[in-house]
Chains A and B, each alone.
Chain A
Amino acid sequence: MSKFHPDLDLLTEYSAGTLPLAQAACVSIHVNQCDHCRRVLGQLNELGASLMESLQPEPVGDEQLNAVLARLDEETPLQYERRAQDGDNTPAILQRLMRGDFSDLSWKNIGAALRISYLKTGDPQHEFALYHIRAGGRIPEHTHRGGEMTLILQGGFSDSQGSYHAGDFIYRRPGDVHAPTALQSEDCICLAVLDAPLKFTDWRFRWMNPFLRLRAG
């Protein structure tokens, strides 16, 4: 059971459909595993519905009704399976974006303890990437030029603000500095959604900063 959740602001924007796609994808994976957030989200959707019901109705003519009636026999579009396949607890949406499993991804090594694989969501403003941190490995100290959403998929990590485990959702605002270290017991895999590139503050890694472009899209 997760201990860290998206805050009410994020859940509200998520339920109103206004979160950018990559962020919404990240929140959805947490929500699907979290009864707590599911319950709040259910209520927020009721709120949306009740606002919709109190709109001043706009007239819709019979020609519109007839146009829809004429289309009712259309073939229903194929639906993707939303649930993950049995025996695989990788969230369904990641399975689709990865087109395979973790071992099929192409990874970019950043130092000895970290490798990153970028996935394509089509969101032009956000990078959507999997971070694989070796057990006990430390990500060089960095700051965020923008916001960073992290969802832990496997294992866990700790930083000066706390320790986090599978299912936990963390949102760091611009300017937060941290140096996460994976738990000693197992490798950590997390999903990170960024709207600006990281910036290493650790002097040994600063030389990389000019190369850290945001890989959105």
Chain B
Amino acid sequence: MLAVSETTGDEPTGGARSADGTRIDEWSECLRLIAENQDRAAFTRLFRHFAPLMKAFALSGSTLSANHADELVQEVMLKVWQKAGAFNPKKAAASTWIYTIARNCRTDLYRRLQKFDTPLAAEDVTGDLESEEAFMALHQRRSGERIRQLMGELPNDQAQILAKVYMEGKSHSEVAGELDIPLGTVKSRVRLALQKLQIQIDR
């Protein structure tokens, strides 16, 4: 399920930053070009990188048909085009911003398929993380980088559970049922993993 993504020539440059600390990786740059110039070439580059990941994300829940997975890929990429102006590279990595769009689109698609009649879209109940202060944004970017580095060090059982929760979109109790382990074990594995990634509530 989890694989090391292939490195190609056009991967983002990772650590590069402009003077004010903003990420200047390729994907943020693509989003800027789309927002400012409706740049289709930039969109195409973004599509070739992210659409295959979106499709993998759509299929990892395993309840969506291939047609619905394709529909989801199109919908996510179209939203990325339409909303590129709302992306702020100071606040999140391009991939994090795209992930939240994909997650919301998938939730909405699930609800549509279940004939859920609701006035609310998943986006409406997504926390509004925009109003962060500059230092919060910096903190955010650093922890994003740290999380990416530490992911590789997670033991398999913990990485597997995180993938089930995030990529397959299963609740903790669904994961417990599927792996035939107690709910408490699922929760403690998730917590251990978050601890290793240094994600915690420090209050």
A36 touches B40 (CB 8 A): no
Which residues of A sit under 8 angstroms from B162, Cβ to Cβ? 47, 51
A204, CB-defined interface residue at 8 Å: no
B125 touches A25 (CB 8 A): yes
A94-113 interface (Cβ within 8 A of B)? 96-97
A83 to B17, CA, bound (A): 31
A43 touches B55 (CB 8 A): no
Given known pairs A40-B201, A60-B51, the reply for A51 and B120 (CB within 8 Å) is no
A203, CB-defined interface residue at 8 Å: no
In the complex, per-residue mask of A144-157: 1 if CB is within 8 Å of any chain B CB, else 0: 00000000000000
A122 touches B118 (CB 8 A): yes
B55 touches A58 (CB 8 A): yes
Number of chain B residues whose Cβ lies closer than 8 Å to a Cβ of chain A: 80
A68 to B76, CA, bound (A): 10
A21 touches B111 (CB 8 A): yes
Nearest residue in A to B44 (C-beta to C-beta)?
A: A65
Residues of B within 8 A of A (CB): 1-6, 38, 40, 43-44, 47-48, 51-53, 55-57, 59-60, 69-70, 73-74, 77-78, 81-82, 92-93, 95-96, 98-100, 102-104, 106-107, 111, 116-120, 122, 124-129, 132, 136, 139-140, 143-144, 147-148, 151, 162-163, 165-167, 169-172, 187, 190-191, 194, 197, 199-201, 203
Can you sample 25 A-B contacts with CB below 8 Å? Answer: A13-B171, A24-B125, A28-B128, A32-B128, A40-B199, A41-B129, A42-B132, A43-B199, A46-B148, A48-B99, A48-B100, A50-B95, A52-B167, A55-B167, A56-B3, A58-B56, A64-B73, A72-B40, A72-B78, A72-B81, A93-B120, A96-B120, A120-B119, A121-B118, A122-B119
